[in-house]
Amino acid sequence: MPPIAIEQPSPADLDAIHAVLTDSYWSPGIPRDAVARACAHSMCAIARDETGKLIGFARVVTDKATFAWVCDVIVLPGKQGRGLGRALVRTFLEHAELQGLRRWLLGTKDAHGVYAPLGFEPLDKPERFMHMRNPTPYGKTAS
């Protein structure tokens, strides 16, 4: 498994992250400046290959006291299916500043099996949760 570091992405990293996110089902058409702003206000985990090139990324939005939302977990094509997505999320779960949180949240359309071994499960009381959603914030419909 390649090393994973908690760090802010470089401009080149942001280019790669944006390229994946803008074509993702959850943020189609997202502008690069929105990706940069989201990263600047989040904790980011980055995995790199032996040459230093970004191959995986995840971020967490958190108050570091009670709540964390894991989002934008991406593994670049050709590097998928090797446990890297799970390792990126595990990096946050084991991070010293994120211990003792009351709730972790993660949303996924099709990767439940990736995160279940880490302890994520469907909401036990989904009726307690509400949300507001703009399905076309960047001009394309998110699913």
| Domains contained in the chain, CATH given | 4-128 (3.40.630.30)
Distance CA(67)–CA(78), nearest Å, equals 33
Give the model's pLDDT for residue 69: 98
What pTM, to 2 d.p., does this model score?
0.93
Give the model's pLDDT for residue 76: 95
Q: Where residue 61 falls among pLDDT bands split at 50, 70, 90? A: very high
> What is the chain's mean pLDDT, rounded?
95
Q: What is the pLDDT of residues 102-133, one digit of tens each?
A: 999 999 999 999 999 999 999 999 999 999 98
Give the model's pLDDT for residue 137: 84
Residue predicted with more confidence, 120 or 134 = 120
Give the model's pLDDT for residue 113: 93
Using left for φ > 0, alpha for ψ between -120 and 50, and beta otherwise, residue 43 falls in beta
- With a cut of 90, say whether residue 143 has pLDDT above it: no
Give the pLDDT mean for 24-33.
94
Q: What is the pLDDT of residues 62-94, one digit of tens each?
A: 999 999 999 999 999 999 999 999 999 999 999
Give 116-123 contacts, CB < 8 A, sequence gap 24+. 117/86, 118/86, 118/89, 118/90, 118/93, 119/93
Give the pLDDT mean for 8-30.
96
Q: Where residue 141 falls among pLDDT bands split at 50, 70, 90? A: confident
Give the model's pLDDT for residue 87: 97
